[in-house]
Amino acid sequence: MSVGQHLIVEKKDGIAILTLNRASKLNAMSPEMVCGLVDAWDEIGDDDDVRVALVTGAGDRAFSVGGDFDRLTPILNGSKAPEDEWQARVLKEDLLPKMNMRHFPHHKPVICAIKGFCLAGGFEFVLSTDIRVASDTAVFGIPEVQLGLMPGTTPTVLPRQVPYAKAMELILTGDLIDAQQALEIGLVNYVLPVGRVMEKAMEIAARIARNGPLAVQKSKEIALHTRGMRVEDAYEVEWQAATEILATDDVKEGVQAFREKREPNFKNR
């Protein structure tokens, strides 16, 4: 288990649980948190024992309300020079795309457990995750345009994940929607009472962690990389990937376990 002031990372039974840990600030993303998330993704990618990641926010009031206006936004817009190592690193290494898992070499699934406010950069972060469980108190929005800002990630990603007209309404008005509306447009998978959100997210994570890790990761990779391809080209990429997985030891173990009516012991090879 690794613990940081603004991000807590725990590993258990093949699941890495990442907690945005600034409940008093509605889990606003500080430079420390951004650096911690980037480092966590690297660590998770290199750890074969981790099969799936689960991200949540501390407390019940917010998943995250986005970037910290006092410590993160000023260095990004150039109105303030970096004052510590965290701010300097965010600026020097361009960490926001990495925090949102763009162009990462691994494709481990990421589940998000969302309670309360999920706004701006918090909303944008959620778009980089694969499966989302929200509380019935959750509120979603991209209010940047109301402040004269352009939202990052969202104009590119959101119209690919929910109906175009609803995506554009959210992006261009900056208005908020509740959890039920998010469910109706397909932004989240489940809406549950606050007390059941982590339970459901962990249930899904545990189910994924029992599956063949190479097959899971390759399936995610193909789903991401074939978006926008001609269907004929996508099928060819998919078939090559399936052939590659078919030759792994994990497939042999999975078939043998099925025949023996036992849980498979996948070795990630």
Look at residue 179 in the predicted model and tell me its pLDDT: 98
59: tokens are 């407390």
What residue ranges of the chain have pLDDT lower than 70? 1-4
Q: What's the chain's Rg over C-alpha atoms?
A: 19
Q: Residue 90 has what pLDDT?
A: 80
Q: What digits encode the pLDDT tens for the residues 173-217?
A: 999 999 999 999 999 999 999 999 999 999 999 999 999 999 999
First CA to last CA distance, the chain: 25
What does the pLDDT read at residue 1?
43
Task: Output the pLDDT for position 48.
Answer: 92
What whole-number distance in Å separates Cα of residue 179 and Cα of residue 184? 9
Task: Say what the pLDDT of residue 16 is.
Answer: 97
Picking from 102, 129, 181, the residue whose alpha carbon sits closest to that of residue 20 is 129
C-alpha–C-alpha distance, residues 86 and 88, integer Å = 5
Residues designated as active site: 124, 144
**pLDDT (0 to 100) of residue 4:** 66
